[in-house]
Amino acid sequence: MADVTLGDADGKSLSVPLQRSNAVGLFRLTDRVFHTVTFVAALFVLILLGAIILSLIVGAWPSIAKFGVGFLVGERWSVNKEIFGALSPIYGTLMTSLIAMVIAVPIGLGIAIFLTELCPLELRRPIGIAIELLAGIPSIIYGIWGFFTLTPFFGQTLLTASLILAIMVLPFITAISRDVFATVPPVLKEAAYGIGCTTWEVAKNVVLPYTRVGVVGGVMLGLGRALGETMAVTFVIGNSHSIAASLLSPATTISATIANEFQESDGVYRSSLLELGLLLFVITFFVLAAARIMLMRLERKAGA
Amino acid sequence: MLFKSLTSATFLVATIVTASAGDISGAGATFPFPLYAKWAEAYKKDSGNGLNYQAIGSGGGIKAILAKTVTFGASDIPQTLESQAKNGLVQWPMVMGGIVAVVNIDGVKSGDLVIDGATLAGIYSGAIKSWDDPAIKKLNPDAKLPATAITVVHRADGSGTSFNFTNYLDKVSSDWHDKVGVSQSPEWPTGVGAKGNDGVAGTVGQTKGAIGYVEYAYAMQQKLTYTDMVNKDGKKVAPTVPAFQSAAANAKWSEATGYYEVLTDEPGAESWPLTAATFILMYKEPADKAASADALKFFDWAFASGGKMAQDLDYIPMPATVVALIKQTWANQIKTK
């Protein structure tokens, strides 16, 4: 607009620079406002995160003060005697997530490679939509389904919970892997095929290395969901504060314990549950941090 | 602030009867929930007033009334007079019922099995691991018992049903008394946890070889197999209304004790050993007097015209003399004006 005014009649020469500086000032102002608004939005997330951590620590403090490190290594969870140890929920959380990832990652990558490399075109959409639908199912439905179809075979055990989690994280891993696999430039794959590579070799040596970062991201997203999943796990894990050698024994996870017991808790009991929440926070943080470090290492290796 | 918001956020699928503004609000025990739901429906028809009852467990009910998020709390864990006084609460019994042991064994029907307190304690402490254990065989010489492993099912949340159940085991087994004791959320030596009476019923129904304990109405609704029991007098009894009544007749309800009564392991040849009462808790000086008056109107109606519905679901209504006592307590202690 300013430029149009500039080319206007000579008689208005006085007003031209004025209009121009007005317009530029307006641009500058919008820019500054935009900058501030986005900055505040970003800052808000940080403040929120800090506030959550702070309130968790404050809430958990009586338990931290009372049990100290013993909370992390104690296996006993006695509500009536007010002795709390988080080892069994920590074990349950890590173990169920680990088994779920061991099952879901190979299957998810397999589906994604099939969809992008091998699948006939007419099948691609139906399978893709099915996977996206799977991701949209609320967790309680998975819980109920697992309760009625898996527990008759496996009982309410650590393994049942792991299987349900594997099914739940599968769509995340698959959908993200498929999307990143689709970004591999056809020329790379064609070159590999051109020198006589098999599909397996193309997937292993071209597609996976090219999309490593995205795949790891998808896996981490799945892992994040597995670590925090509550409802589905509560239905099928057996909610028992114990660590058994067998995967076919009832167990519990951090989020399942909180969901079951928070409502009627008070005093040290409640603050122990809050400390469990804090621990889940810390575990998730470390898992994500480990993923970042792993990615950075991979990048460096690839660069060298 | 944090605590309050976290408490009010119900993490779980709390079962809620019709909710709308102006309804009477209460929360707590799952034990009487089938009856309260039925009463609520009938009361809505009679008076147009609704009841919003969240069956979140007795522990949750006590928490909710202390946090003043509801007009009344419901609990099967009787509060002592001192604890009522400390919190400015009034307690009275609303209805009585029976807790039954439910099992899921192929070929075993309701009434086929009989079990006694010591055996039940043995199963719940993990000492008895299989259905063909000599202790169970001895009580049931004629029953065909498989070598299936026993899956113990207990409550995962703080529960009045657990309180009454462990209270019974504590009375009949010194081993249980020493190792576990009485609690709304004991440190279970073995087994899987499920949330609410309905959760235990569902888990037992789904698991071969399982045993659990639920309020009788839940066993009926889910068509579960219940067992007979041996009572304090050494007699075999089936869970029936007369058996619950026989145990309930031993209660000495009185305002002087704040209606504190536990009805497990009562004497009497016909008494069901796992009988329990369920209680209502309200503030003596409620913040919202109109809401409390509405709630009392509902309870008054339930005592007057809810007896038949209670019996239909195999609950035991409070005797007329006790109801008169309770109304006296309301008039004397709860300030609704």
Domain ranges of chain A: 5-67, 75-303
Same domain? B118 vs B239: yes
B-chain CB neighbours of A246 within 8 Å are none
**B193: distance to nearest CA of chain A, Å?**
5
Same domain? B126 vs B23: no
Q: Which residue of B has its CA nearest to A257?
A: B156
B234 close contact with A: CB closer than 8 A = no
B-chain CB neighbours of A258 within 8 Å are 11
In this complex, which of B63, B184, B192 lies closest to A239 when CB atoms are compared?
B192
**A47: distance to nearest CA of chain B, Å?**
16
CATH code assigned to A75-303:
1.10.3720.10
Same domain? B120 vs B205: yes
Which among B15, B77, B152, B187 is the top mutation candidate for probing chain A, defined by the most A β-carbons within 10 Å of its own β-carbon? B187
Same domain? B105 vs B52: no
Judge: B187–A76 Cβ closer than 8 Å, yes or no.
yes
- Rounded distance, CA B219 to CA A260, Å? 22
pLDDT tens digits, A45-66: 999 999 999 999 999 999 999 9
Judge: B187–A155 Cβ closer than 8 Å, yes or no.
no
In a domain? residue B1: no
Same domain? B206 vs B311: no
- How many structural domains does chain B have? 2
Q: Which residues, 6+ apart, have CB-to-CB distance to A295 below 8 Å?
A: A212, A213, A216
Q: Interface pTM (ipTM) of the complex?
A: 0.75
Same domain? B121 vs B223: yes
Nearest to B267 by CA among B237, B290, B247: B247
- pTM (2 decimals)? 0.81
Same domain? B84 vs B118: no
Same domain? B63 vs B169: no
Same domain? B271 vs B299: yes
pLDDT tens digits, B125-150: 999 999 999 999 999 998 889 999 99
**A99: distance to nearest CA of chain B, Å?**
21
- Rounded distance, CA A236 to CA A164, Å? 8
Judge: A147–B206 Cβ closer than 8 Å, yes or no.
yes
Structural domain for B168, as ranges:
99-249
Judge: B11–A78 Cβ closer than 8 Å, yes or no.
no
pLDDT (tens, 9 = 90+) of chain A, 304 residues, equals: 444 444 444 545 556 677 888 888 888 899 999 999 999 999 999 999 999 999 999 999 999 999 988 899 888 888 888 889 999 999 999 999 999 999 999 999 999 999 988 888 888 889 888 888 888 899 899 999 999 999 888 888 999 999 999 999 999 999 999 999 989 999 999 999 999 999 999 999 999 999 988 898 889 889 988 998 988 999 999 888 988 888 899 999 999 999 988 877 888 899 999 999 999 999 998 888 888 887 788 777 665 4
By the 8 A CB rule, do B164 and B262 touch? yes
Alpha helices (H) along B232-335: 241-248, 289-305, 307-312, 320-333
Return the DSSP state at B234: S
**A260: distance to nearest CA of chain B, Å?**
6
Residue after which a domain boundary falls, among B208, B228, B249:
B249
